[in-house]
Structure formats: C-alpha cells, structure tokens
Amino acid sequence: MPKTKTAPFAVRFSQACRDDAIGRDKGYALCKSGEWESYLDNGSRMVTIRSIEARRQRLLHQGGKFKRAPLRGQSPQTATDQQTTALPPLFTLRC
C-alpha cells in the first residue's frame, strides 16, 4: 500500500513562532488571547495549523494597516516617513 503524505494537525510552539517570524513572548500572547489554538502534548506546547492559517488570513485581509516599528532612538514619525519614501538604489550600472 503506498504511503500518502498528510498535512500535520499541529506544530510545536517554537516552530509556529519561527514560521510566523515572531518571538516567544508574542507567541505566548497569541495563545493567551485565543488567536492561536494550543494544547499540551506530553509536555510540549502544540499550536494548530488551522489557527495559524486563520491568523495569516486575517492579517492579509487587514491590508495596509501595518506600520513599521521605529528603530531604537528613532521617533515614530521618522519611521512612518521612511516607510513611504523610496529606497535609494543599491548599486549603479556602468556600461
């Protein structure tokens, strides 16, 4: 009988954080708020794929409601200005 691959039901907490490019503190906050469904499996925190995908879809539908966080020592207004300005070219071509 051929083996078929099935999608996992849940991933470990650390993998969910890596996949969403967030830190552990933010991951625990998502679990506590209910955005991520999680449970303990033999002492390992597991996060359901369904809840990770639902959060991603919710963020995609919010569209342009993301703001760049200011860098250390930078005012919030400067971060907003940098977000809307064009970036300089990384290199120039000489022919």
* Each residue's pLDDT tens digit, 23-81: 999 999 999 999 999 999 999 999 999 999 999 998 888 775 556 667 777 766 655 55
How many Cβ atoms are within 10 Å of 46's Cβ, its own excluded? 19
Q: Is 73 within a domain? A: no
Domain count, the chain: 1
> Is the whole-model pTM more than 0.85?
no
Is residue 90, in this structure, part of any structural domain at all? Answer: no
Domain membership of residue 34 (yes or no) is yes
Q: Which helix (H) or strand (E) holds 23?
A: none
Residue 79 lies in a domain: no
Facing residues of 40 across strands?
A: 45
Question: Would you state the torsion angle of the CA atoms of residues 53, 61, 22, 7, taken in this order, to the nearest 10 degrees?
Answer: 10
What residue numbers bound the domain in which 44 lies? Answer: 7-62
Q: Is residue 89 part of a domain?
A: no
Does a structural domain hold residue 84? no
